Amino acid sequence: MDKITPSHRSWNMSRISSKDTKPEMIVRKLLCESGIKGYRLHWKKVPGNPDICFPGRKIAIFIHGCFWHRHGNCKDATMPKSNTDFWVRKFSANMARDKLAKSELENSGWKVITIWECEIKNREILKNIIHKEMGHLIKNDEMMAAEPNPDYNKQSI
Ligand SMILES: [Zn+2]
């Protein structure tokens, strides 16, 4: 059995973290609504400190900003016009780090799920990802079948 971390406790703990970004909250909220529990946040014991991970099930979720992590063919992955050398180096370091963490995790039997910020903005796309990748864990399928929520920008946590 996995240790279930009370979501309220992890919410409290995560509040003091600067990594407590809004896209991550939206993913966590959806996982919670789907009845998927037992995750840890920014777990330091595995490569890459995945944003959300399920140690017992060996599932790691990375939530990547399209700009910083260079989402392929994404309109949000723009290239700054000045200091281009700096940005190119910065981006390639980020991508190399992501790739390394992913391969280290996969080599030790983890399933790695990457969710991009632009996908989180569309609740339907996000739900499809969770459904596809973690469908076997979903306890509340009714929620997953619900209509898309157009209130992305209004969602308060
Ligand atoms: Zn994107």
Give pLDDT tens digits for 53-64. 999 999 999 999
Residues with CB under 5 A from ligand 1 (ion): 66, 71, 74, 76, 116, 118
Query: Domains of the chain by range and CATH?
Result: 7-146 (3.40.960.10)
Q: Alpha carbon of 74 to those of 37, 82, 116, 152: distances in Å? A: 31, 20, 10, 19
Give me ligand 1 centre to Cα 9, in Å.
Answer: 31
Give me ligand 1 centre to Cα 3, in Å.
Answer: 33
Mean pLDDT of the chain, nearest integer: 84
Instruction: Output the DSSP codes for 1-60.
Output: -PPPPPHHHHHHHHHT-TT--HHHHHHHHHHHHTT----EES-TTSTT--SEEETTTTEE
Give me ligand 1 centre to Cα 66, in Å.
Answer: 4
What is the rounded average pLDDT of the residues 15-29?
A: 74
Give me ligand 1 centre to Cα 6, in Å.
Answer: 31
Give me ligand 1 centre to Cα 144, in Å.
Answer: 22
For 32-45, the pLDDT digits (tens) are: 999 999 999 999 99
What pTM was computed for the model?
0.77
pLDDT value at residue 139: 85
